[in-house]
Structure 1
Amino acid sequence: MHLCMYDELILILIPKRDFSQPLTSNFRLEEIHIASLEILTIIGCCISIAALSTTVTVLLWFRLRSERYILLLHLSVAVVVAQVVFLTGIDAVNMKIVCRLVAILLHYLYLSVFTLMLAEGIHLFHKLHRAFDADDSLNMLLFLGWGSPFVIVSLSLLSAGDGYSTQQHCWLSTDGAIWAFVGPALTIIAINMAILIMIIRTFLGVTIVARKTDMQKFKASLKATVVLLPLLGITWMFGVVAVNESTVVFQYIFAILNSLQGLFIFLFHIVFNDDVRKACSHYKRNQITSVDSLPQSSASKKLHKKASILDMFI
């Protein structure tokens, strides 16, 4: 018997249970919860794929070429491809070669999603603290996002090649191979949590924010946190605590937040984004010009880049 769709989403991060049995035998969830979580996962993933496909289209159409949007473009592509492969290939257990390839591809893609979210965190942190060479930094961040997962997957294949695909799903087995994903993923989540805290502290120290009342600061901090959570992947932490029947609420939160990650990225970083609105305005006036390609002095470029980051929160 195959695992349900929600089982498969949660097993991507949680190696703590016996994967030879379905989730219900370990968590003993009621059937209504299993069915509800599966439906939420499928619907959420489909919505995310549509939202991130729109995100990619908007970024390319309006030619938003700053490192911030290039990283967002790469993250969006990684999440879309990972979710498409997940939805279409996770259950291909009857085709051994295909299943093994799906497992390898999912390992690489989901690691890339996490490393690109780490790249987003590093980029945001540096933008709020110091200016640095855009081309060099972007190349390094993209190598981190796409290159480091390739190294990890290659080493994993050499050391635990038999751990790709099982009788239940096309994913890593729990006999050691799973840690080639869980280890880096949990490390990245911890790093991004620390980055988020440092970003909020820096943000609250900015003059325009420091002059606000305590309630205004709280609201601004809450907004910054909500905007950054899907970008940094910290919502995956809910998967860590969703490990038994007493934490069913966290299982719902995990299923909703992570399957809808693409929708949140689209809303917070495209729909409500000032740069995208300006680019749209240029397009309507038949002047399709990237906001970041407009002539600016060196000093104004630095000011604009830092201000655009702060505009995400204020």
Structure 2
Amino acid sequence: MVLDAAANISESSSANPNKLTSYGNRVLKNNEELMSTLVKPTDTSANVSFTLADVEGRVFMVGPHVILGEIPRLYTTNCSIDIDLIGIAKNNNETRSAAVIFLGYNAMENLLKADFFNTTNDTVNTMMSSVISVTLPKTTNTALSKPVNFTFRHIREFDPSGSLYCVYWNISEWIVDGCSVLNTNSSFTVCSCVHLSTFALIMQTSSRPPESDSLLNLLNVVCVIVGLLFFSLALLTFALCPCPGVNNVARINICISLLLAHLLFLLTQQFLSLIRRQQVLCVLISGLLHFLFLSGFVWMFIEAVLLFICVKNLSQIRSQKRKVLRNRLLCVFGYGVALVVVGISAVVVPNSYGSEKCWIKMNKGLIWSFLGPVTVILALNIILFISIGISLNSAFKKLNADVSQLKQTKIIMFKTLAQFVILGCSWILGFFTNSSQVLEILFLILNSQQGTFIFLIYCVLNKGIRQEYRKLFTSLCSGLKPKNFNWFSENTEDSTIQGVQMK
């Protein structure tokens, strides 16, 4: 059947433009001719509809004795139309009847590409809707009594900085004549046209990013690279310097998850134009990013819980051996929660991965499978962070009567602020970055440097590790083989400030 020709669109997408437009025009013409055979005379009203994999069809007919006050809105999956078919029928003096054919194509944009819309060298065209076709078959007078309105659902992410155009197909190109945008939001756009044809919605965006965006992107790249460096140094330190009695499992896995997530995100954005050509790869990357970032937040929550337990047991740290949750159970929880969320999301809301930036599509609702858990974890971590700060301050007043109050306050303040970033609490700024570029820059810097703060607090400011660093560097400089690392026990004050779990 001619309708099945749409199923071969993807196979022809690599052809030259002339072949694409020629094939597309044949599909449109043949489908409209075939659909016109479904139009039958009627005294009142009748309708026919069907749905196939790549095309949906709606036929509505009215006769001289139609009893409807107005034609019901006609729907396909991605579009709806409002047409005054009764008014058109009244203008047909001979038959007093009319019919409309409404076709929605789910893959026609691969043939009638957005690139066929007039553009300049510094703009990019993006097809924002499915292609639809509306005709009036077997109707003697096809003049419209009033404009036809189309409501398009956006099939790609909406860019507020872009310009939307309601266009129709004119043999070899998309043009705007006779069509205009009535209103729009992030999910839908309403177009109005004074004639019938094949229509679509195209967004035009600048290919030259604003200067501020270029600077922000450069800052992002630099900050992420610095953060990746310190994530790597922290992991290397934890691997070469395993501290007896200290459970670093949460910190190690925070580093692993965020190191891989930031690295994958950075590479994806740098090679986005190449990755976008392979949609399957883009979908896999967005799903993996969802998993890695979410698992990173789960490990931040685990770290907050372990620190809270450590601080609460501070007064008993010398008299009682504290039980530590088994690492295997922590790993199952840390990665299992993220895996379950991603798996359920992919099943419940299919085709929601693989946005224009190879992330979760905003218009599918799946973004809340990320924002929801993250919001809950941030709220819990902030509560735990406040509790840890209060308990830590109280404990230091009891344990450090001989320490300078000013010095103690500075140490507590610095390490408390560092823990605020390590536990991910600074990610809360992400909910407010749209209204302030200053907050966006602060959010970017803080959350790209979680590895830096982990390295400073748990490596550089750890007495034992500093001493082992000195011995290692001394051995390297003298050309001698480094000796085995010997750990020096730290006093309760230093262990407590860092939130280290000790036996």
For this structure pair, what is the TM-score category when the shorter chain's length is used for normalisation? 0.7 to 0.9
Q: Which whole-Å CA distance do the structure 2 matches of 1:65 and 1:22 have between them?
A: 54
Q: Which has the larger radius of gyration?
A: 2
TM-score between the two structures when normalised by the length of structure 1: 0.79
C-alpha distance after superposition, 1:35-65 (max 9, x if no partner): 2211111011111111111111111112336
Amino acid aligned to 2:228: I
Counterpart in 2 of 1:103?
286
Aligned residue for 1:68, secondary structure, equals: coil
| Larger CA deviation: 154-163 vs 125-134 | 125-134
Counterpart in 2 of 1:86?
265
Counterpart in 1 of 2:323?
133
Counterpart in 2 of 1:144?
333
Aligned residue for 1:163, secondary structure, equals: coil
Q: Is the 8 A contact 2:290 2:342 kept in 1?
A: yes
Report which of the two has the higher share of strand: 2
| Larger CA deviation: 76-85 vs 201-210 | 201-210
After the TM superposition, which residues 242-253 of structure 1 pair with which residues of structure 2 at under 5 Å, given as runs? Answer: 242-244=433-435, 247-253=436-442
Q: Which whole-Å CA distance do the structure 2 matches of 1:266 and 1:23 have between them?
A: 39
After the TM superposition, which residues 246-285 of structure 1 pair with which residues of structure 2 at under 5 Å, given as runs? Answer: 247-280=436-469
Q: Which has the higher contact order (CA 8 A, sep 6+)?
A: 1
Q: Which whole-Å CA distance do the structure 2 matches of 1:84 and 1:173 have between them?
A: 21
Q: Which residue, 354, 358, 378 being the options, matches 1:165?
A: 354
After the TM superposition, which residues 10-49 of structure 1 pair with which residues of structure 2 at under 5 Å, given as runs? Answer: 19-21=157-159, 31-49=210-228
Q: Is the 8 A contact 2:297 2:424 kept in 1?
A: yes
Q: Which whole-Å CA distance do the structure 2 matches of 1:165 and 1:210 have between them?
A: 58
Residues 160, 127 of structure 1: alpha-carbon distance in 2 compared, 3 angstrom cutoff: same
Residues 132, 161 of structure 1: alpha-carbon distance in 2 compared, 3 angstrom cutoff: farther
Provide the aligned length of Structure 1 versus Structure 2.
Answer: 280
Q: Which whole-Å CA distance do the structure 2 matches of 1:208 and 1:104 have between them?
A: 48
C-alpha distance after superposition, 1:178-237 (max 9, x if no partner): 111111111111111011100011011111368888866753442232220221011111
- Alignment partner of 1:50 is 2:229: yes
Amino acid aligned to 2:214: A
TM-score between the two structures when normalised by the length of structure 2: 0.51
Identity %: 22
Counterpart in 1 of 2:415?
224
Q: Is the 8 A contact 2:462 2:494 kept in 1?
A: no
Q: Which whole-Å CA distance do the structure 1 matches of 2:159 and 2:257 have between them?
A: 30
Residues 222, 147 of structure 1: alpha-carbon distance in 2 compared, 3 angstrom cutoff: same
Q: Is the 8 A contact 2:412 2:497 kept in 1?
A: no
Q: Which whole-Å CA distance do the structure 1 matches of 2:463 and 2:358 have between them?
A: 41
Q: Which whole-Å CA distance do the structure 2 matches of 1:47 and 1:172 have between them?
A: 26
Q: Which whole-Å CA distance do the structure 2 matches of 1:65 and 1:75 have between them?
A: 20
Q: Which residue, 345, 351, 359 being the options, matches 1:156?
A: 345
Aligned residue for 2:434, secondary structure, equals: coil
Q: Is the 8 A contact 1:103 1:172 kept in 2?
A: yes
Aligned residue for 1:21, secondary structure, equals: coil
After the TM superposition, which residues 68-79 of structure 1 pair with which residues of structure 2 at under 5 Å, given as runs? Answer: 68-79=247-258
Cα shift at 1:78:
1.1
In structure 2, runs of 5+ residues without a counterpart are: 1-123, 126-155, 164-185, 187-208, 314-320, 476-481
Counterpart in 2 of 1:288?
485
Q: Which whole-Å CA distance do the structure 2 matches of 1:306 and 1:160 have between them?
A: 50
Amino acid aligned to 1:104: G
After the TM superposition, which residues 192-211 of structure 1 pair with which residues of structure 2 at under 5 Å, given as runs? Answer: 192-206=381-395, 207-208=398-399
